[in-house]
Amino acid sequence: MLIDAANLYFRAFYSTPESVTAPDGRPVNAIRGFLDMSAALIERRRPSRWVACLDLDWRPAFRVELVPTYKAHRLAKDGTEEIPAALAAQIPPLLDVLGAFGLACAGADGFEADDVIATLAHRDTEPVEIVSGDRDMLALATERVTVLYTGQGMAKMAAMGPAEVLAKYGVPAENYADFAVLRGDPSDGLPGVPGVGEKTAAALVNRFGSVEQIVAAAKRGDDGFPAGSAGKIRAAQDYLAVAPAAVRGRTDAPLDVIDDRLYAEPRDAGRLDELAGALGIASSVKRLTKAVAGAYRTT
């Protein structure tokens, strides 16, 4: 199970009241929510291995160089990611808690969690489940890799394989990134091709395949383009030459071998008890401990 950590702790922060605090008064709503959601996922899905995948660079330079508007709308005045201070303060102690549990965390300098997830999923040979509310992750769905999509909340989490992606978006999962490049995605600052919406993007992908193949067909003057769309593709050639590399998850993030197994007992029980007391999260720690131990026994 590969967790899009930032996606999950943002969700936890906004779905758990800030009135949930530690004994010293600091907010711990994101920490508690993250642990409770993780426990629920492990209870339901029973993974034998688990990794929290981290954004060590939420807006990598190589993507900004290709598409300057990439996530630009999320920049704070100081050039960092715009993130609530109450959430930012909770991330280090959350990682401390996961470390005391012995739950693996993985990140790579200069890469997003998307790339960490894509790399780990690509290099594995066993079934993989990706937990994320980021639709870009749908491009990773295969017969071996399932995306547990949380875009509509944990209660409505949808298991998305290739068949489900095709049924919902009308494009093969392997071409979802091409579809996103054409259609655009405001949440990532991706402009898309002017005048090309979801229906036209899906039609182009299904008729020609990848963005590169679509552009080549438009240059040749091939038949099969929806009315007026070939000209729009030709007009957007500069954007289409670079955008796919910005959208597609990298499978070459430099990651060391990770001990991602779940263990029957926390790795550092003393430290975990200390953190549980200081943060006032004993009930969440107990639930996650039970969930991990249960998954360990069944696998």
Query: Residue 78's pLDDT is what?
Result: 84
Looking at 3.30.360.10, 3.90.550.10, 1.20.1600.10, 1.10.150.20, the CATH number of the domain 173-247 comes to 1.10.150.20
Does residue 216 surpass a pLDDT of 90?
A: yes
89 to each of 37, 83, 92, 290, how far by Cα in Å?
Answer: 19, 10, 7, 27
pLDDT digits (tens, 9 = 90+) for 127-144: 999 999 999 999 999 999
* 161 touches 141 (CB < 8 A): yes
Of 211 and 79, the one with more pLDDT:
211
φ, ψ of residue 105 to 5 degrees: the values are: -125, 140
Q: Where in the chain is the domain with CATH 3.40.50.1010?
A: 2-171+250-298
Query: Residue 89's pLDDT is what?
Result: 97
pLDDT digits (tens, 9 = 90+) for 221-271: 999 999 999 999 999 999 999 999 999 999 999 999 899 999 999 999 999
What proportion of the chain, given as a percentage, has pLDDT over 70? 100
How far does CA 49 lie from the centroid of its chain? 17
Does residue 299 surpass a pLDDT of 70?
A: no
Q: Which residues contact 213 (CB under 8 A, 6 or more apart)?
A: none
Angle among Cα 292, 298, 299 to the nearest 5 degrees reads: 90
User: pLDDT band at 170, cuts 50/70/90?
Assistant: very high
Query: Residue 79's pLDDT is what?
Result: 84
Question: What mean pLDDT comes out for the span 31-41?
Answer: 98
Q: Where in the chain is the domain with CATH 1.10.150.20?
A: 173-247
Question: What mean pLDDT comes out for the span 32-59?
Answer: 97
Does residue 199 surpass a pLDDT of 90?
A: yes
pLDDT digits (tens, 9 = 90+) for 82-115: 999 999 999 999 999 999 999 999 999 999 999 9
Does residue 71 surpass a pLDDT of 80?
A: yes
Torsion of CA 30, 36, 39, 41, to 10 degrees: -80
Which CATH superfamily does the domain covering 2-171+250-298 fall into? 5'-nuclease (3.40.50.1010)
Cross-strand bridge partners of residue 53: 4, 106
Buried b (16+ CB within 10 A) or exposed e, 205-238: beebbbbebbbebbeeeeeebeeebbebbeebee
Which tokens belong to 247? Answer: 């959208």
d(CA 175, CA 205): 7
Q: Which residues contact 44 (CB under 8 A, 6 or more apart)?
A: none
d(CA 183, CA 178): 9
Query: Residue 167's pLDDT is what?
Result: 97
Beta strand 51-53 pairing with 104-106: parallel
Does residue 276 surpass a pLDDT of 80?
A: yes
Q: What is the mean pLDDT of the chain?
A: 96
